[in-house]
């Protein structure tokens, strides 16, 4: 087991749950304070590795769904450079690098700067992923009902507060929805068991957007057609590697089960 684990993005959507779920007392946590160490500044990622000499680096930091305009932000390209620098510094020091992609990072057509950046970094690190030198996490559609992430969830919760239905542009669009707390539990399990290569993190089950908002206790209506939307890839995770080490998406399963039992 690792002697020290450096975590970037520990205050983010997934990171805060990683800290909450962390149950590896033999591993000393080193948290990156973005107010002190700006990972987007060249040289800072490498300097962090030199200063702390971690055994494991869990890289979760990125401009993600809580940041307005994150999908088109020029910071996406800067995150690619920072992430590659961090991975290279880990390789030079012998630290185990755990990076984070998305369910759309395998290449092909890119719909926005965010997806493109995730594809770029995966391509840059692909040989190390294939050789098992590093771990590449692929969370699917991550959501959190407590803080209202992503925007769809926040909008549904706001509509519930007003006692109104929410208009859905694509109510039948399917995704592998996974609660952030289950993603965090998966990451802790990956560290505990030393899982390398690609790790897909999802429930392994497709559910519609309408099912998600219904589980949030919100009625929905189909919005008028407003023209073409971003294509949706109906893909589900293969979490078999996680199942083998005892992880199951228990919070996600319970979330949707409660909805079915209550008749929502």
Structural domains in the chain, sorted by start: 4-262 (3.40.50.720)
Residue 227 has pLDDT above 80, yes or no: no
Please give the Cα distance from 160 to 148 (Å, whole number). Answer: 12
163: left (phi over 0), alpha (psi -120 to 50) or beta: left
Note the pLDDT of residue 259.
60
Summarised one tens digit per residue, pLDDT across range 175-189 is 999 999 999 999 999
Please name the residues in contact with 96: beta carbons below 8 A apart, sequence gap of 6 or more.
Answer: 2, 55, 56, 57, 90, 134, 135, 194
Whole-structure pTM value? 0.92
Task: Note the pLDDT tens digit of each residue in 77-131.
Answer: 999 999 999 999 999 999 999 999 999 898 666 678 888 999 999 999 999 999 9
Cis before 231 (ω within 30): no
Average confidence (pLDDT) over 134-162: 95
The pLDDT of 159-176, averaged and rounded, is: 94
Q: How confident is the model at residue 224 (pLDDT cuts 50, 70, 90)?
A: confident
Q: Is 71 a residue whose pLDDT tops 90?
A: no
> Which pLDDT score, from 0 to 100, does residue 256 have?
95
């Amino acid at each position: 087991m690792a002697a020290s684990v450096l975590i970037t993005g520990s205050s983010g959507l997934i990171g805060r749950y990683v800290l909450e779920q962390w149950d590896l007392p033999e591993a000393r946590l080193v948290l990156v304070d973005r107010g002190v160490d700006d990972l987007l500044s060249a040289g800072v990622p490498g300097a962090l590795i030199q200063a702390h000499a971690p055994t494991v680096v869990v890289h979760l930091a990125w401009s993600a769904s809580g940041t307005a305009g994150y999908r088109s932000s020029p910071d996406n390209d800067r995150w690619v450079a920072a992430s590659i620098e961090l991975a290279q510094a880990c390789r030079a020091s012998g630290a185990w690098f755990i990076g984070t992609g998305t369910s759309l990072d395998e290449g092909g057509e890119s719909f926005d700067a965010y997806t493109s950046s995730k594809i770029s970094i995966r391509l840059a690190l692909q040989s190390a992923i294939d050789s098992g030198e590093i771990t590449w996490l692929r969370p699917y559609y991550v959501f959190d009902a407590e803080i209202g992430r992503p925007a769809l969830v926040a909008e549904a919760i706001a509509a519930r507060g007003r006692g109104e239905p929410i208009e859905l542009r694509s109510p039948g669009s399917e995704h592998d929805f996974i609660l952030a707390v289950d993603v965090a539990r998966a990451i802790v399990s990956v560290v505990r068991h030393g899982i390398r290569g690609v790790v897909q993190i999802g429930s392994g089950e497709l559910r519609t957007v309408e099912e998600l908002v219904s589980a949030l206790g919100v009625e929905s209506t189909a919005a008028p057609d407003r023209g073409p939307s971003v294509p949706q890839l109906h893909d589900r995770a293969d979490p078999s590697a996680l199942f083998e080490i005892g992880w199951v998406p228990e919070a996600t399963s319970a979330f949707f089960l409660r909805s079915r039992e209550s008749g929502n």
